[in-house]
């Protein structure tokens, strides 16, 4: 007899005191089973406030890891410890190299304030925390950079060059990207690491032109992980939650093309919403988690042999938590 995964997941969630968490980019079958959904910032805040001892996190590695760092008393499991490709573009030594790049060009280490996008490993967050820096997400980057600037220091922004540049443009700041042309830290306010999201690089000016020609007056809404020229050409840019809000507040007859991950755009609203790309912008690792994986993870708790548990060493967790808490304190 085949297993009714949905019924079994519901039963185990309640019997075992487990909270299932899912990011918006998860497949519908997984997303529908979640108790907590949201953008990266909302997930971090709501998991911290949640009372259950177990969290099963459906998303990518840095997300589950952030919950473990903020709430170390919780047991955090991931059906798949799938990696965010952008988060994997930087590690501790690449972070140190970026700091050294600035130091070699005349900026004292004490005059650098690092900010890391939440899409990074705990080791990077920890190094950022030790240098007095903070974490940010796509929904609060403006406020976090603004706060960082109060220190009078240069901002080292890692790992997403697009997010760093997009917010620098919004704030009227000068930015440059290490490894791209002449990046002189003395001339810039925000110095960006050269990381990016391959999914959000798919959206092009040709895509925008195609939709504007086909449907005059169509709105274009994109995630700030898109290239700055895409964000500048769009009508709106925001985090996944902000994109959902923007689209839901449009008149139902108004057309909108959205530049972010396929599962989310497909779920937004059935009528008059288009994916801003001729190829399917699927985040491969977000899509790895299946309903069966979720079932097997809960079953492993029931059987007393939890699988894929997130572990972060004490030193890393301490400083990564400090960097995350500095962010969470800013409203
Ligand atoms: P949000 O914080 O907007 O949910 O973004 C996370 C992400 O990985 C986007 O690619
Ligand atoms: Fe990472 Fe891009 Fe996937 Fe978001 S969409 S999780 S940034 S690879």
Please give the number of the atom of ligand 2 that sits closest to the Cα of 283: 3
263 Cβ below 6 A of ligand 1: no
318 pLDDT exceeds 80? yes
Sheet holding 256-259, edge to edge: 236-237, 219-222, 256-259, 273-275
Dist CA 177 CA 151 (whole Å): 21
What pLDDT was estimated at residue 41?
Answer: 87
Dist CA 298 CA 252 (whole Å): 39
- pLDDT level of residue 97 (50, 70, 90 thresholds): very high
Interval between CA 54 and ligand 1 midpoint (Å)? 23
Please give the number of the atom of ligand 2 that sits closest to the Cα of 260: 5
Half-sphere exposure of 113 (CA within 13 A, CB side): 20
Interval between CA 253 and ligand 1 midpoint (Å)? 27
Dist CA 118 CA 63 (whole Å): 8
Query: Of the residues 23, 82, 263, which should be mutated to test ligand 1's pocket, given the most ligand atoms within 8 Å of the CB?
Result: 23
Tokens of residue 297, six digits: 């993870």
Task: List the Cα angle 289/290/293 in 5-degree steps.
Answer: 85
Best CA proximity match to 80, nearest among 47, 65, 54, 58: 58
Q: What residue's CA is closest to ligand 1, atom 6?
A: 40
Mean pLDDT of 172-187: 97
- Distances in Å between the alpha carbon of 83 and those of 16, 86, 108, 142, 181? 27, 9, 33, 26, 29
Dist CA 101 CA 243 (whole Å): 35
Q: What residue's CA is closest to ligand 2, atom 6?
A: 84
| pLDDT per residue as tens digits for the range 257-290 | 999 999 999 999 889 999 999 999 999 999 999 9
The pLDDT > 90 percentage for the chain reads 97
Which residue in this structure is represented by tokens 């690089």? Answer: 201
163 Cβ below 6 A of ligand 2: no
Dist CA 269 CA 13 (whole Å): 29
Interval between CA 80 and ligand 2 midpoint (Å)? 15
Backbone angles phi, psi at 37, to 5 degrees: -130, 160
Mean pLDDT of 108-118: 98
Q: What residue's CA is closest to ligand 1, atom 4?
A: 39
Best CA proximity match to 58, nearest among 295, 321, 266: 295
CB 323 within 8 A of CB 129: yes
1 pLDDT exceeds 80? no
Check: pTM over 0.95? Answer yes or no: yes
What pLDDT was estimated at residue 269?
Answer: 82
- pLDDT level of residue 331 (50, 70, 90 thresholds): confident
What pLDDT was estimated at residue 253?
Answer: 96
Best CA proximity match to 177, nearest among 92, 84, 96, 98: 98
Please give the number of the atom of ligand 2 that sits closest to the Cα of 59: 6
What pLDDT was estimated at residue 44?
Answer: 87
Tokens of residue 260, six digits: 């972010």
φ/ψ bin of 234: left (φ > 0), alpha (ψ from -120 to 50), beta (otherwise): beta
**Residue 235 DSSP one-character state:** S
Mean pLDDT of 183-211: 98
What pLDDT was estimated at residue 263?
Answer: 97
Which residue in this structure is represented by tokens 């969470």? Answer: 328
6 pLDDT exceeds 90? yes
* DSSP character string of 254-308: --EEEES-HHHHHHH-SSSEEES-SS----TTGGG--HHHHHHHHHHHHTT---S
Average pLDDT in the chain: 97
Query: Of the residues 59, 85, 227, which should be mutated to test ligand 2's pocket, given the most ligand atoms within 8 Å of the CB?
Result: 85
| pLDDT per residue as tens digits for the range 72-92 | 999 999 999 889 999 999 999
| pLDDT per residue as tens digits for the range 26-53 | 999 999 999 999 999 899 889 999 999 9
**Residue 206 DSSP one-character state:** H
**Residue 12 DSSP one-character state:** H
């Amino acid at each position: 007899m085949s297993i009714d995964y949905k019924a079994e997941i519901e039963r185990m969630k309640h019997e075992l005191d487990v909270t299932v968490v899912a990011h918006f980019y998860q497949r519908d079958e997984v997303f529908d089973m979640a108790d907590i959904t949201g953008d990266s910032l909302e997930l971090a805040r709501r998991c911290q406030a949640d009372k259950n001892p177990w969290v099963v996190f459906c998303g990518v590695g840095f997300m589950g890891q952030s919950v473990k760092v903020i709430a170390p008393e919780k047991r955090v499991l991931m059906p798949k410890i799938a990696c965010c490709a952008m988060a994997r573009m930087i590690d501790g030594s690449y972070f140190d190299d970026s700091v050294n790049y600035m130091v070699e060009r005349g900026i004292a280490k004490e005059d650098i304030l690092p900010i890391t996008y939440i899409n990074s490993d705990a080791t990077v967050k920890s190094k950022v925390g030790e240098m007095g820096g903070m974490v940010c997400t796509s929904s609060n980057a403006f406020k976090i950079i603004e706060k960082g600037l109060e220190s009078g220091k240069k901002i080292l922004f890692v790992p997403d060059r697009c997010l760093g540049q997009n917010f620098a443009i919004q704030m009227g700041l000068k930015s440059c990207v290490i490894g791209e042309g002449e990046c002189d830290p003395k001339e810039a306010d925000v110095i960006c690491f050269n990381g990016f999201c391959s999914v959000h690089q798919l959206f092009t000016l040709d895509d925008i032109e195609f939709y504007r020609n086909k449907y005059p007056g169509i709105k274009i809404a994109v995630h700030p992980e898109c290239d700055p020229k895409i964000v500048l050409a769009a009508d709106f840019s925001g985090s996944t939650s902000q994109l959902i809000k923007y689209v839901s507040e449009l008149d139902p007859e108004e057309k909108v093309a959205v530049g972010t991950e396929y599962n989310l755009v497909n779920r937004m609203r059935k009528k008059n919403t288009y994916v801003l790309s001729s190829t399917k912008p699927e985040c491969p690792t977000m899509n790895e988690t299946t309903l069966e994986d979720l079932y097997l993870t809960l079953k492993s708790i029931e059987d007393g042999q939890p699988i894929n548990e997130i572990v972060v060493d004490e030193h890393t967790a301490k400083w990564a938590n400090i960097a995350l808490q500095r962010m969470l304190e800013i409203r």
